[in-house]
Amino acid sequence: MKLVLAIEIGVTSSKVGLVNQYGDLQAKFAVDHDLTRLIPNLFEKIIDGLEAIGINYEEEVEKIGIAIGGYVDHMLGIIRYSANLNLTNYHLKEVAEELFKKPIFVINDANASALGEFWTGVAKQYDSIIFYYVDNGIGGAVITEGKLAPGARGFAGEFGHGGGVFQKNYPCSCGLTGCVEPMSSILGIANHFKVTFKNKKNHSAAHFFKNVEDITFKEILEIYEENNQPEEITVLLQEALDPLIMHMATMINALDPEAIILAGGLTQLDEKLIEIIQSSIKKYMIDMFAEELTIEIAELGNDSTMIGSAYYALNDWKIF
Ligand SMILES: [Zn+2]
């Protein structure tokens, strides 16, 4: 059976996996890379890594799916802009095909993660989903009638930015105001706690935190659980998540999906996250539709992006 080589490019290292036609991740390993010679570096290390686990690259690998953060022109395999990787108009597909000598398919990482969950994870029972990946940043994807909607250039799913109306409190690193990300990402949530306690020294949740100058999302989670999810902290979480929930309501009204799928570090809030969304979204949706809403938490964890990029490569979407 032929395999797809899946590569998820990160800032200092990349994840590498081998995925079969049923979506089973048969092997995985990580390689460090040097951004100044990204592809040659990856090529050497991946070929060595495959050899080490007894894979014959020439014979067994049929295609390659690459997932990467940023604005990815999926048709041409060009990274139009990736802030984290410091890439602008980088012809990833062309450069990589010259070395790897296999057909290469390039996709945005959040889109790939959604496809992974859609293929073998929590979303496999649905045809239409809206996928939110909420971690340090916010990304997403739309799958409708069984197909990823990547947009004309592959830029669909940039839910963290733009729109101007989702919050009035925090400026965004993208230069716009009103974005979801600076308040509802896990960095945004921690910042909202810090700013609230700074402005309101006697806030009812402040006494739970030892050092209010230096709060992290991890610490919020720990304190929240240790104290049996106190209402004072729930209220602050609700405030911080409000821009995200408002965005979800807008997307639901636009696309009428079967389910919202949540992934990334935010999902450590687990059932409480679903509860907060389900109660807060009623402000932005007609009651009867809010009550019917299905929200699920992704189940493939860090493997979803590799599995989804393999799915993308296997299906040759919109490439030929
Ligand atoms: Zn922004």
CB 274 within 8 A of CB 238: no
Residue 318 clears pLDDT 80, i.e. is over it? no
CA of 21 to the centre of ligand 1 (A): 37
Residue count of the chain, please give it.
320
Residue 159 clears pLDDT 60, i.e. is over it? yes
Q: Which of 134, 92, 100, 109 is nearest to 15 (CA)?
A: 109
CA–CA dist 155, 120 (Å, integer): 24
Higher-pLDDT residue of 287, 17: 17
CA–CA dist 40, 237 (Å, integer): 44
CA of 294 to the centre of ligand 1 (A): 27
Q: Which ranges of 15-54 would DSSP assign to H, the alpha helix?
A: 38-52
Listed range (12-21, 30-39, 109-118, 305-314) with the worst mean pLDDT: 30-39
Report every protein residue that has its C-beta within 5 angstroms of ion ligand 1.
161, 172, 174, 176, 179
Percent of the chain with pLDDT over 70: 98
CB 25 within 8 A of CB 8: no
Q: Dig out the tokens for 38 from the structure.
A: 């990204």
Number of other CB atoms surrounding residue 17 within 10 Å:
23
Residue 306 clears pLDDT 90, i.e. is over it? yes
CB 257 within 8 A of CB 130: yes
CA of 252 to the centre of ligand 1 (A): 21
CA of 183 to the centre of ligand 1 (A): 10
CA of 172 to the centre of ligand 1 (A): 5
CA of 165 to the centre of ligand 1 (A): 11
Question: What average pLDDT does the structure give for the chain?
Answer: 94
What confidence score (pLDDT) does residue 120 get?
97
CA of 8 to the centre of ligand 1 (A): 24
pLDDT digits (tens, 9 = 90+) for 163-213: 999 999 999 988 999 999 999 999 999 999 999 999 998 999 999 999 988
CA of 81 to the centre of ligand 1 (A): 14
CB 126 within 8 A of CB 259: yes
CB 31 within 8 A of CB 13: yes
Residue 217 clears pLDDT 50, i.e. is over it? yes
CA of 158 to the centre of ligand 1 (A): 9
CA of 137 to the centre of ligand 1 (A): 10
What confidence score (pLDDT) does residue 289 get?
87
Residue 320 clears pLDDT 60, i.e. is over it? no
CA of 286 to the centre of ligand 1 (A): 28
CA of 136 to the centre of ligand 1 (A): 13
CA of 181 to the centre of ligand 1 (A): 6
What confidence score (pLDDT) does residue 187 get?
97
CA of 70 to the centre of ligand 1 (A): 13
Domains, the chain, with CATH or none: 3-108+302-315 (3.30.420.40), 122-299 (3.30.420.40)
Percent of the chain with pLDDT over 90: 88
Higher-pLDDT residue of 317, 265: 265
What confidence score (pLDDT) does residue 319 get?
45
Cα dihedral: 110, 165, 203, 187 (round 10) = 20
Residue 79 clears pLDDT 50, i.e. is over it? yes
Cα dihedral: 18, 24, 27, 31 (round 10) = 60
CA–CA dist 39, 71 (Å, integer): 18
CA–CA dist 230, 200 (Å, integer): 18
Band of the pLDDT at 110, cuts 50, 70, 90? very high
